[in-house]
Amino acid sequence: SNLHEFNFREKMIFKEVNFGYDKNDRILSNLNLEIDKGTKIGLYGESGSGKSTLANLISRLIQPDKGSILLDEKNIFDIKIEQYTKNISYVSQENILLNDTIIENFKLIKSDVTLEEIEEVCKKVNLFNFIKNLREGFHTFLGEKGARFSGGQIQRLSIARALINKPKLLILDEVTSALDRENTKIIID
């Protein structure tokens, strides 16, 4: 097969990308965009303006109707899927966490994860002290849909989990909606 390895050196390029969920509803029309490696971009716009669609395209959950998305010179759909997904993390508003312990939720992403690695990413999202002070610490059960935690804590846990593989591409889709100003600043930093 002619599939490529994941190798991201310079930029992601959208060339004349078109997408619509049906023929009469074009969400993206001839989109041209270059995103340099190492940069952070924020997309602002009204509901339905294509922000999540863009995230879904980059994540390869959907394909453009027309046009191409390139990592350097390679079409992202020509990169081996297991290599691609290993190097990208996508956090959406619907934080899908297991009704299991905090540690097990990280093992879902990285089976050989160490407690030190989990602690490190939890420090980055301002969750470490909170979890450390729980009676069972990182062995605490989240409960059904994370019921034992606030929306902001669940959101930060999802982001921490996304960071565990040190992804080359990190997509956060409206993830600051459940966060207060202080934690929003921490996540952006």
Alpha helical stretches, state H, 108-180: 115-124, 128-132, 151-163
Mean pLDDT, all residues of the chain: 88
Q: Which residues pair with 20 in a beta bridge?
A: 26
DSSP 133: T
Predicted TM-score of the model (pTM)? 0.81
Phi and psi, residue 96, nearest 5°:
-95, 100
Say what the pLDDT of residue 1 is: 55
CA distance 72 to 76: 9
CA distance 31 to 120: 38
Say what the pLDDT of residue 76 is: 94
* Whether 60 contacts 47, CB under 8 Å: no
DSSP 101: B
Reported confidence tier of residue 148, pLDDT bands at 50, 70, 90: confident
